[in-house]
Amino acid sequence: MIDLMLCPKCGGINNQSINYCRECSRNLHEGKWWKTLSLRFILWVGLFELTLFSFRLIEVNINLYFDFKSVPKPSKPIEVKYEWYGPDINYGDGKATVILYMLTDEYKWELGWYDQLNKNYEKVPLSNEMIGLINGSRKVICVGTSSGEMKQGVSFQEGRIIEEQRAGKRAETIAKWVRERLHDPVTVLKLNAGHWIRSSDMTNTDHQRRVIIILVLRIIGIWDKDKALRKAFEDAAREEPIYKIILKEYSLTQGNRFVWVE
């Protein structure tokens, strides 16, 4: 006597030594086979993409490393009075090649103005060398400064706020002049250094109102503008004392984070 069993899937008669009837067993087997094949295909494709991405990441890092190390120091443009070249600024999260430029006295800001330079220049007459460097940079940082003078008839606090606002507007003005000369996609940032904090000697404050342009030529790793720029200023100050004034003598550069003009 043959024991008849019901298929648990379709309710049909199952007289085989298997749990399902012949039709359900075949369908179940085909479904598992297809699902297994699909899963394997997806896994292989994912593994292939992951491997390809890893090789690309290694290749990019190698290229960036050698490209980063091979950046030569460019010639100093004629409108630059002070320069400092940092080929390997290591700020923890990444590294950058940075050039700090302070322009000559011809390009200092006219006292009390935020859009007028000395000698009635309407804009910085940048040389072809400087324009080429700007367009070859990853980022350009325009630094606005204000000298120690204050508006008469206002409190010290009000006077400082006015001068800090003026410094911010000067950063915006430099950025406007830089953008007018861009023909490549370059990020332009605006840093407000603030008001000169020492007011003991007001006989000659030209050096407190210099136009400062910073070029970031290469970046590797995570870009942190505050950390990178502070490290660049600190490294520069150890070699060129003139750069100590950026972190020591202006009202908005004392903390860990700078004041950026949006």
Contact predicate 144/170, CB 8 Å? yes
Tell me, rounded to whole angstroms, the distance of Cα 47 from its chain centroid: 32
* Mean of pLDDT values over 106-125: 74
Retrieve residue 175's tokens.
């950025």
Of the given ranges (38-42, 190-194, 238-242, 252-256), which has the lowest mean pLDDT? Answer: 38-42
Question: What pLDDT sits at residue 17?
Answer: 45
Q: What angle do CA 216, 220, 224 make, to 5 degrees?
A: 65
* Mean of pLDDT values over 125-142: 92
Question: What pLDDT sits at residue 119?
Answer: 63
Of the given ranges (62-71, 107-116, 200-209), which has the lowest mean pLDDT? Answer: 62-71
Q: What is the CA radius of gyration of the chain?
A: 32
- Residues 173-202 have pLDDT tens digits of 999 999 999 998 899 999 999 999 876 666
Instruction: Please report, for the chain, how many H helices and E strands are present, in that order.
Output: 5, 8
Q: Reading across the β-sheet that carries 94-103, which strands appear in turn? A: 80-90, 94-103, 212-221, 139-146, 187-195, 259-260
* pTM: predicted TM-score of the whole model, two decimal places: 0.72
Question: What pLDDT sits at residue 22?
Answer: 56
**pLDDT-based confidence at 255, cuts 50/70/90?**
confident
Q: Tell me the C-alpha distance between 27 and 143, whole Å.
A: 73
Check pLDDT > 70 for residue 149. Answer: yes
What are residue 157's phi and psi, to 5 degrees?
Answer: -65, -45
**pLDDT-based confidence at 44, cuts 50/70/90?**
confident
DSSP 252: T
DSSP 114: S
**pLDDT-based confidence at 237, cuts 50/70/90?**
very high
Of the given ranges (23-32, 140-149, 172-181, 190-199), which has the lowest mean pLDDT? Answer: 23-32
Question: What pLDDT sits at residue 120?
Answer: 61
Three-class SS of residue 126?
coil
Q: Which of 218, 248, 247, 256 is nearest to 89 (CA)?
A: 218
